[in-house]
Amino acid sequence: MLTKRIIACMDVRDGHVVKGVRFQQLRHAGDPAELAARYNVEGIDEVVILDITATIESRRALADTIHAVAARIFLPLTVGGGIRTEADAAAAVDAGADKVSLNTAALKDPALITTLARRYGSQAVIVAIDAKRRGDGFAVYVRSGTADASRDAVEWAREAEARGAGEILLTSMDRDGTLSGFDCEMTTAVADAVNIPVIASGGAGGVEHFCEVFTRGHADAALAASIFHSGTVEVSALKRYLREHTIAVRL
Amino acid sequence: MIALIDYGAGNLTSVRKALTALGAEYATPGSPQDLSRFSALIVPGVGNFAATAALVGPWREAIAAAVRGGTPLFGICLGMQWLFEGSDEAPDVPGLGLLPGRVTRLQGDPQHRLKVPHVGWNALDFTRSARILASLEPPAHVYFTHSYAAPVTDACVAATAHGERFAAVVEKGHVFGVQFHPEKSSDAGLQILRNFLSAARGSVARTGGAAAGC
């Protein structure tokens, strides 16, 4: 049986892991390669490196960080942040990334999804969607959550799939950093609209939130950052909890 | 020395890193003629079966000849699918045909939210003991990412279910294959790679022994 995936995200700036609360107020949280190695021992299923300042400051994901992490863990590794062109994606893949995550660039140039899917396969292309509730829908934001893209998350996720995306990484901007739980309604809306896996992100505060998003939220995977970094939630304990609640996980 | 066949289907960085971590010596042969100097072959690959068209012709002949001569072969993901007769994904491209059967598209199961592609960690159901599965304890979980899969036949030593059951691991003599990515499957995946390296070394030792006997 296909298990639900637990993904640790490392928001990286200048080679260090940081975590923003509502995309601001960054604080230092550790060395990426050391943290990744710790997660591997704890049983994490996947690791994401997000170069959080790349879009705004026009910096590309740091190849050194990718290389250092990929040398320590033999798990699927995704890199996002600052992937704007085919060359950016190639640099990340060459450094050891298995997947690249496109956000702002995919909205600006949707053909990039298809280009990368043709070159590396759909399994290597994640489209990341940052969205917040607006009326009955979910408004997509770009440029690290600073600009309204005038798109609806469900409709954009469908288009991304049609263009060749292999997975959707859906972040609730309303919940990000709040520790109040994933936005299960938004996750369900997107997960039920596409046939590719949806990774829920934003708001994880405790083990029960993962349980919720895998059941009520229809998520295929769930991503968190700060609670794993700080040790508030330990990955192995989280997985035992999920198994006790009859959710299939890799132990 | 292991030959890591690079035919342009996906990135080999991960496989290289895993082999390096396990202390394996490997190289990427530049031409089919080079294959004879390698003691084992790995055919990796991600993506569309059509990509294996690059292997049609001299590469296919050289790989088939090496395997006939006793060289162990390990196919990973697309490389495993290529061991079969062909795939519905690219009907005009022949497989290597070492294993009977044809690769077909996974159907998934929308009612139970089983999506295609099959992406993530799934369990191996061991169907019989095999060298490639040595030291693995069930239920071993490994990382898959694929839309097409090979049938469960006599060569299948571990199956996985995603709506339907398909061959996750195959072993027939010195031909091995895995549908998942051992280089991305943490400890379980590294153990499988280690098992292939052991099989490859065993094969070299046997060949050496036979030569000494002559």
Give tens-digit pLDDT for A67-118. 999 988 999 999 998 899 999 898 888 889 999 999 999 999 999 999 999 8
**Catalytic residue set of A:** 11, 130
Candidate from B116, B117, B161 with C-beta closest to A1:
B161
Q: What is the pLDDT of residues B57-85, one digit of tens each?
A: 999 999 999 999 999 999 999 999 999 99
Q: Is the ipTM of this complex over 0.90?
A: no
Residue A25's pLDDT is 42
Strand partners, B171: B176
Q: Is B145 on the interface with A (CB under 8 A)?
A: yes
Phi, psi for residue A115 in degrees, rounded to 5: -60, -45
- CA–CA separation, B137 vs B147, rounded Å? 26
- CA–CA separation, B81 vs B56, rounded Å? 14
Set out the domains of chain B in order of their start, with CATH numbers: 2-213 (3.40.50.880)
Residue A21 has pLDDT above 60, yes or no: no
- CA–CA separation, B210 vs B214, rounded Å? 6
Residue A20's pLDDT is 45
- CA–CA separation, A126 vs B12, rounded Å? 19
Chain B residues within 8 A of A220 when measuring between CB atoms: 115, 119-120
Contact B120 A96 (CB under 8 A): no
> A130-149 burial by CB neighbour count: b if 16+ within 10 A, else e?
bbbbeeeebbbbbebbeeeb
Q: Is B183 on the interface with A (CB under 8 A)?
A: yes
Query: Does residue A175 or residue A226 have the better pLDDT?
Result: A175
pTM for this entry? 0.91
Domain boundaries defined on chain A: 5-244
Range B1-7 average pLDDT: 94
- Worst-scoring range by mean pLDDT, A32-36, A143-147, B53-57, B207-211? B207-211
- CA–CA separation, A82 vs B134, rounded Å? 43
Q: Is B191 on the interface with A (CB under 8 A)?
A: no
Which residues have CB under 8 Å from A192's CB, separation 6+?
A218
Residue A148's pLDDT is 92
Local confidence band at B204 (pLDDT 50, 70, 90 cut-offs): low
CA torsion A1→A208→A241→A21, rounded to 10°? 90
Local confidence band at A196 (pLDDT 50, 70, 90 cut-offs): very high
Contact B11 A197 (CB under 8 A): no
**Chain A residues 168-197 with a CB less than 8 Å from chain B:** 191, 195-197
Residue A143's pLDDT is 82
Phi, psi for residue A136 in degrees, rounded to 5: -90, -5
Q: What is the pLDDT of residues B180-196, one digit of tens each?
A: 999 999 999 999 999 99
User: For domain A5-244, is the CATH number 3.40.1800.10?
Assistant: no
Residue B29's pLDDT is 96
**Which of A3, A4, A46, A74 should one mutate to test binding to chain B, selecting the residue with the greatest count of B CBs within 10 A?**
A74
Local confidence band at B199 (pLDDT 50, 70, 90 cut-offs): very high
Range A49-67 average pLDDT: 70
Name residue, tokens 């050289």. B62
Strand partners, B162: B164
Query: Does residue B19 or residue A61 have the better pLDDT?
Result: B19
**Which of A48, A123, A239, A243 should one mutate to test binding to chain B, selecting the residue with the greatest count of B CBs within 10 A?**
A123
Residue B51's pLDDT is 87
Contact A120 B47 (CB under 8 A): yes
Range A203-225 average pLDDT: 97
Q: What is the pLDDT of residues B96-138, one digit of tens each?
A: 999 999 999 999 887 888 888 899 999 999 999 999 999 999 8
Name residue, tokens 């990286």. A12
**Which of B6, B14, B48 should one mutate to test binding to chain A, selecting the residue with the greatest count of A CBs within 10 A?**
B14
Range A160-175 average pLDDT: 97
Please say if B77 is a catalytic residue. Answer: yes
Sign of torsion, CA B92 B98 B102 B107? Answer: negative
Sign of torsion, CA A62 A63 A64 A70? Answer: positive
Local confidence band at B210 (pLDDT 50, 70, 90 cut-offs): very low
Q: What is the pLDDT of residues A125-161, one digit of tens each?
A: 999 999 999 999 999 998 878 889 999 999 999 999 9
Residue B162 has pLDDT above 80, yes or no: yes
Whole-number Cα distances in Å, B5 to A74, B2, B41: 21, 9, 7
Average pLDDT across chain B, whole number? 91
Burial of A195 (0-12, 13-18, 19+ CB in 10 A): middle
Sign of torsion, CA A218 A128 A7 B48? Answer: positive
Contact B14 A45 (CB under 8 A): no
Range A18-35 average pLDDT: 60
- CA–CA separation, A37 vs A46, rounded Å? 11
Helix H or strand E encompassing A213? helix A207-215
| Backbone angle region of A240, left / alpha / beta, with phi > 0 → left and psi within -120 to 50 → alpha | alpha
Please say if B156 is a catalytic residue. Answer: no
**Crossing angle between the packed helical segments A86-95 and B13-21, to the nearest 10 degrees:** 10
Query: Does residue A65 or residue A62 have the better pLDDT?
Result: A65
Residue A56's pLDDT is 45
Nearest-CA distance B119 → chain A (Å): 7
Residue A18's pLDDT is 80
Candidate from B13, B146, B190 with C-beta closest to A94:
B13
Helix H or strand E encompassing A185? helix A184-191
Average pLDDT across chain A, whole number? 90
Residue B209's pLDDT is 38
